């Protein structure tokens, strides 16, 4: 069983990720923050995948607090829990944006790291939708399922087009 034809294998060696965001927020706020502030917080010795995993750990901690305070997704939580969720999401987003820059500046970029990053993004999407459902008190309902399905569909199509 052949998945990739021999004449197409050279394309794997030439592959280069090219994600582009032309939004004004990205251009004038996020990219300067990532490139001038966030990346300087990580030593050159830190592996890019360690940054990815560290960022994901914030989301896992958020998810565990959700399971503790709101396992049915339909109860109110203490205010500090919501604040910690927003901080965790911001940190995940920042770490996720910086891991690629770290990979390029340490010459460790490659398809395996990109696959790991996309896999973590997929796991994050599921957990963040459940955190959203808990924040909105959607409970274990069809709106939660539809939100999860819609988010995963968007993620799948975005990764398919990368």
Residue 135 forms part of a structural domain: yes
The answer, yes or no, to whether residue 1 has pLDDT greater than 60, is no
Domain with residue 133: its CATH number is: 1.20.120.1760
Task: Calculate mean pLDDT across residues 98-125.
Answer: 91
What is the crossing angle of helices 142-161 and 111-135, to 10°? 160
Tokens 């770290």, residue located: 102
Which structure tokens are listed for 124?
């994050």
Task: Report the catalytic residues.
Answer: 118
The answer, yes or no, to whether residue 12 has pLDDT greater than 70, is no
Residue 150 forms part of a structural domain: yes
Domain that holds residue 97: 6-161
**pLDDT per position as a tens digit, 43-62:** 999 999 999 999 999 999 99
Task: Calculate mean pLDDT across residues 118-122.
Answer: 91
pTM: 0.84
* pLDDT for the residue numbered 159: 72
Residue 96 forms part of a structural domain: yes
What is the crossing angle of helices 48-69 and 111-135, to 10°? 20
The answer, yes or no, to whether residue 41 has pLDDT greater than 70, is yes
Number of domains in the chain: 1
* pLDDT for the residue numbered 23: 92
**pLDDT per position as a tens digit, 69-89:** 999 999 999 999 999 999 999
* pLDDT for the residue numbered 7: 78
Residue 1 forms part of a structural domain: no
């Amino acid at each position: 069983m052949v998945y990739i034809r021999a004449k197409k294998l050279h394309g794997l060696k030439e592959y280069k990720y090219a994600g582009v965001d032309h939004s004004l927020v990205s251009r004038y706020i996020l990219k300067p923050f990532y490139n001038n502030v966030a990346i300087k917080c990580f030593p050159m010795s830190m592996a890019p995948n360690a940054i990815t995993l560290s960022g994901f750990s914030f989301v896992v901690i958020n998810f565990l607090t959700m399971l503790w305070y709101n396992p049915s997704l339909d109860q109110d939580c203490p205010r500090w829990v919501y604040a910690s969720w927003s901080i965790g999401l911001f940190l995940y987003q920042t770490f996720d944006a910086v891991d690629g820059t770290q990979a390029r500046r340490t010459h460790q970029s490659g398809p395996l790291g990109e696959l790991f990053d996309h896999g973590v993004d997929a796991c994050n999407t599921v957990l963040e939708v459940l955190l959203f459902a808990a924040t909105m008190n959607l409970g274990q309902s069809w709106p939660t399922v539809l939100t999860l399905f819609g988010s995963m569909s968007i993620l799948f199509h975005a990764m398919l087009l990368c």
